[in-house]
Structure 1
Amino acid sequence: MTLARRLERLGTETAFAVALAAADWGSRGNTIYPFHLGDINIPTAPHIVEAMNRAIADGKTGYCPGAGIPELREALAEDIGGQRGIEVDPGNVVVMTGGKPVITKFIQTVMDPGQEVLYPNPGFPIYESQIEYHGGTAVPYRYLPTEDGFRIDLDQVRAAITDRTVAIIYNDLQNPISAESTPEERQAIADLAVEHDLWVLSDEAYFEMRYEGESSSIAALPGMAERTVILYTFSKKFAMTGSRLGCAVAPPEVASVFSTLNTNDESCTTHYVQWAGIEALRGSQQSVSDMLGVLRSRRDATCELVNAIPGMSVEVPRSTFYVFPDVTEAMERVGTADLGDFAEQALHATGVSFCTRRHFGRPVPGEDRHYIRLAYSGIDESAIREGLGRLGEWVESA
């Protein structure tokens, strides 16, 4: 017997492979400083957990509508629309088991085999995986380093659009590089989408995970609401990564397809978790503010220590919980030209575990600098200081 050939095109989130390597090293009695996964080591707020438990006690443990319970769709429409300055009808909201299913169902809905979808690279690896798995051509667009952080190479995006291009995936407040679009960059992407009649997946997982400034959605720009799907997740803002709750905000014809796909794939999102989502949106927001305060302090410590390491440098991001330092000269100091070797040596020499640029899409021609990603969401500040201190000592002594 054989398996389906399309499985050869299925990628994965390779950060989990880094986690396995770190766990194996830790099982041998070594201290691990986990900067690899974008998980959050801050518990879900008690009032959200209580709402979930109350829903279980009240019998909210059976099937519910595939598109989500009406009460949650109403709360999401109000919150997402209000935060972005747009009108969102509950009928445009389709609840899902986290943010990842929005990527998969968007690709299934707007792309036929043989068509092309543009996606950010470096970027969340599931974009590339799902485009290729469903028979499309994944066309990467790159970011260029500037004095103000990374910027989309708009000339490359323009040149990459063909008559087979049907969509562009756009991740403002970006994982892994924490890039944030300027208004001009956001408008340029919108203009290209309108000019070439493209669908847009706006991945807004980190829309409210920011320390300075205000977030804006490309869906709020003229001509974009009818062609944009917003990806929303409870995982980051409410520290609910394991609860698996998110949604898509989509034009009516797309929302209808998403609802049907939900029924085919999962039947529905866990009923009692949806009631926890309502409490998260409409209950006290103090836990969100408190968590951002903790993450801001971790960000500042991480950037301070990284920039003190010989051969490493990073801009201080205004959002997400990642930094993406350039480690090119640090690699030269320790005598390796391979990012994978650098990460393995760092783990064994210092216990610091991190992902590299290679975990976020295939490198594109012309890349001559080397980067790693440090996630500070799952590691306490004291461990950040200890781990990065050890990393700095290792590089400096090389």
Structure 2
Amino acid sequence: MRLASRLDNLGTETAFAVAAAAADWKARGNEVYPFHLGDLDFPLAGHIVEAMNKAIADGRTGYCPGPGIPELREALADDIGGRRDLQLDPAEITVMTGGKPVITKFIQAVMNPGDEVLYPNPGFPIYESQIEYHGGVARSYRYLPTQDGFRIDLDQVRELITDKTVAIIYNDLQNPISAESTDQEREAIAQLAQEHDLWVLSDEAYFEMRYEGESRSIASLPGMRERTVILYTFSKKFAMTGSRLGCAVAPPDLSKVFGTMNTNDESCTTHYVQWAGIAALRGPQESGQETLRTLQGRRDAAVELVNQTSGMSVQTPRSTFYLFPDVTEAIQIVQADGLADFAEQALHHTGVSFCTRNHFGRPQPGEDRRYIRFAYSGLPEDRIREGLTKLRDWVGSF
């Protein structure tokens, strides 16, 4: 029996492939420092757990409205709108099972087979996977390294737009490279979207995961609210990765489409988890603030040790929980045959497991520097120092 040919275009979140190699190495009795997967090792805040348990005890375990329960949609409209200087109506909120479904349903709603969608590269691999799986043409735009961090190659974006382009995926506070847009860059993307009548998916998963500065949404710029879908997730700020809770913020007509898609795909988001989401938004915020303080300490430790390692360098990011160091010279020092061999050698010699640039999109022509990604969200600071010290010493032994 045959399977659908479109499955050939379905990719995956490649960090999980690295996780399999790390798990195999650990199963052989070796120490592993898992910098590969951007999960968080913080427990759910007590009031969130209590709200979830109470909802279960109260019998909120059956079906509920496909777009989300009214109480959560209202809380999301208040919170998301208040932090972005937007007056949102609950009708613009569609609750989903995490942030990933927003990507999928956005692509399904705005793109026909053969249409082109622009997406960041390096970037979250699910963008490319979903565009191609649904019959679109994925056009990747690059980032350029500067003294102030990575910047979108706006000239390339302009060149990529054709009469077949229908949307651009824009990830400010970016995974994997921790880039954040300047006001000028954000405004340039908004101008291009309006000039060419493009939809924008603004992936704002890390909007509140920042240590300094202030986040801004492209949706708050003039002329952008009616063409922008915001991806929101509870996974990062509230450490609710396994709870699978998020939402799309979209113009009302598109929000109705998302609600219908929900009904077709999963009926509804888990009822009692939605009540936990309300508690997260409306309840005490101290645990989230403590999480950020802890992550900042981890970031500083990781930056310090990476920059002490021969042939590696990284700037201190102001947001997310990733580092994207340049390791071009380190690869040469250890005489590795490219990024994959470097990662394998590092795992086997030091136990440090990480993703490489190649796990976040196909390298573009002309890339001459080599990068890896460290996620420091799932290891305590002492383990970060222990693992990266071993990596530093191993590279320094050559």
> Normalization by structure 1: what TM-score?
1.00
Q: Secondary structure at the match of 1:358?
A: helix
Following superposition of structure 1 onto structure 2, how do residues 120-135 of structure 1 map, counting pairs within 5 Å? 120-135=120-135
C-alpha distance after superposition, 1:73-116 (max 9, x if no partner): 00000000000001110000000000000000000000000000
SS across alignment from 2:377 = coil
> How far does the alpha carbon of each residue in 1:325-384 deviate from its partner, in whole angstroms, 9 at most, with x for none?
000000000002410000000000000000000000111100000000000000110010
For residues 142-162 of structure 1, the C-alpha deviation after alignment (integer angstroms, 9 at most, x for no partner) is 000000000000000000000
1:222 aligns with 2:222: yes
Match of 1:356 in 2: 356
Question: Who is 2:67 aligned against?
Answer: 67
- 2: CA distance, partners of 1:314 / 1:69: 43
Within 1, Cα distance between the matches of 2:327 and 2:50? 44
2:88 is matched with which residue? 88
Same amino acid, percent of matched pairs: 77
User: 1:277 aligned to 2:288?
Assistant: no
Separation of aligned partners in 2, 1:14 and 1:182: 29
User: Hey, what does 1:105 align to over in structure 2?
Assistant: 105
Q: Which whole-Å CA distance do the structure 2 matches of 1:144 and 1:87 have between them?
A: 35
- Name the SS of the counterpart of 2:358 in structure 1: coil
Partner of 1:365: 365
Partner of 1:13: 13
Is residue 385 from structure 1 mapped to residue 389 from structure 2 by the alignment? Answer: no
**1:231 aligned residue:** 231
Moved over 6 A (4+): none
Distance 1:278 1:166 in 2: 34
Q: In the alignment, residue 300 of structure 2 is paired with which amino acid?
A: D
SS at match of 1:31: coil
Give 2:210's aligned residue: 210
* Structure-to-structure mapping, 1:2-81, within 5 angstroms: 2-81=2-81
Given residue 209 of structure 2, which amino acid in structure 1 is its aligned partner? Answer: M
Please report how far the alpha carbon of residue 194 of structure 1 lies from its aligned counterpart in structure 2 after TM superposition: 0.2
**Which secondary structure state, in structure 1, belongs to the residue aligned with residue 225 of structure 2?**
coil
Give CA-to-partner distance per residue, 1:165-215, whole Å, 9 cap, x none. 000000000000000000000000000000000000000000000000000
What pairs with 1:157-236 in structure 2 (closer than 5 Å)? 157-236=157-236
How do residues 235-246 of structure 1 correspond to structure 2 at under 5 angstroms? 235-246=235-246
CA RMSD of aligned residues (A): 0.4
> Does residue 258 in structure 1 map to residue 281 in structure 2?
no
How big is the shift at 1:224? 0.1
**In structure 2, C-alpha distance between the alignment counterparts of 1:302 and 1:182, rounded to whole Å:** 25
- How far the C-alpha of 1:253 sits from its partner, in A, is 1.3
Cα deviations across residues 215-257 of structure 1 (Å, max 9, x unaligned)?
Answer: 0000000000000000000000000000000000001111011
One-letter amino acid matched to 2:370: H
The answer for the alignment partner of 1:326 in structure 2 is 326
2 CA distance for matches of 1:117 and 1:241? 27
CA distance in 2, matches of 1:131, 1:114: 10
- The separation in 2 between residues aligned to 1:344 and 1:121, in whole angstroms, is 23
Q: Which amino acid aligns with 1:336?
A: A
Aligned residues: 398
Query: Which residue of structure 1 lines up, in the alignment, with residue 316 of structure 2?
Result: 316
Q: Which runs of 5+ in 1 are unaligned?
A: none
2:262 and 2:131 mapped to 1: Cα distance? 19
What residue is the counterpart of 1:287 in the other structure? Answer: 287
**2:211 and 2:355 mapped to 1: Cα distance?**
23
SS in structure 1 at match of 2:230:
strand
Q: How far, CA to CA, are the matches of 1:70 and 1:29 in structure 2?
A: 50
Aligned with 1:169: secondary structure? strand
Distance, in Å, in 2 between the alignment partners of 1:127 and 1:116 is 12
- CA deviations over 1:302-346 (Å, ceiling 9, x no partner): 000000000000000000000000000000000024100000000
